[in-house]
């Protein structure tokens, strides 16, 4: 996928960022699934989390710090961090990104077994 055709390669070039630092951006999700739903997107394109080895250890650490910093700066204390991996994992945009989800609807503990049962 090229920078010209990738939706999130375009998104990271845009202006609608909550924050942008060290090669990462935070933007509100266009179709929020929680009271607070923010996307954390690296500027550098890799298709999915499967390709995380393409990032250096420093970049990977910075990305995780950036997620935590974004939450802290927005005074979001309790939240979920989610990464859908591949079509079968619910991924729809094939440029690595993380969902930062918070609010009353996100307070429930979701054991893996509950996720499996939800689809039955």
Name the closest residue to Zn ion (Cβ): 6
Question: Which among Zn ion, ligand 5GP, none contacts residue 29 (Cβ within 5 to 8 A by kind)?
Answer: ligand 5GP
Q: Which among 37, 45, 95, 97 is annotated as catalytic?
A: 97
Point out which residues bind ligand 5GP (CB under 6 A). Answer: 7, 11, 27-31, 39, 84, 90-93
- What is the CB neighbour count within 10 angstroms for residue 11? 19
Q: Distance between CA atoms of 45 and 26, rounded to whole angstroms?
A: 15
Question: CA triplet 82, 2, 25: central angle to 5 degrees?
Answer: 40
Question: Which parts of the chain fold into alpha helices (H)?
Answer: 7-13, 57-73, 112-118
97 is catalytic: yes
Selection from ligand 5GP, Zn ion, none that 9 binds (CB < 5 to 8 A by kind) is Zn ion
In the list Zn ion, ligand 5GP, none, the entry touching 25 (Cβ below 5 to 8 angstroms by class) is none
Residue 37 sits in the site that holds Zn ion (CB under 5 A): no
Count of beta carbons in the 10 Å neighbourhood of residue 27 = 19
User: Which residues belong to the active site?
Assistant: 97
């Amino acid at each position: 996928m090229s920078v010209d055709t990738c939706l999130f390669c375009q998104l990271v070039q845009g202006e609608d960022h909550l924050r942008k630092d060290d090669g990462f951006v935070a933007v509100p999700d266009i179709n929020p699934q929680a009271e607070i739903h923010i996307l954390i997107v690296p500027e550098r394109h890799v298709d999915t989390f499967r390709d995380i080895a393409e990032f250096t250890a420093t970049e990977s650490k910075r990305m995780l710090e950036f997620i935590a910093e974004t939450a802290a700066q927005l005074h979001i204390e309790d939240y979920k961090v989610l990464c859908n991996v591949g079509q079968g994992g619910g991924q729809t945009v094939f440029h690595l990104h993380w969902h930062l989800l918070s609010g009353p609807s996100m307070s429930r503990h979701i054991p893996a077994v509950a996720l499996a049962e939800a689809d039955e």
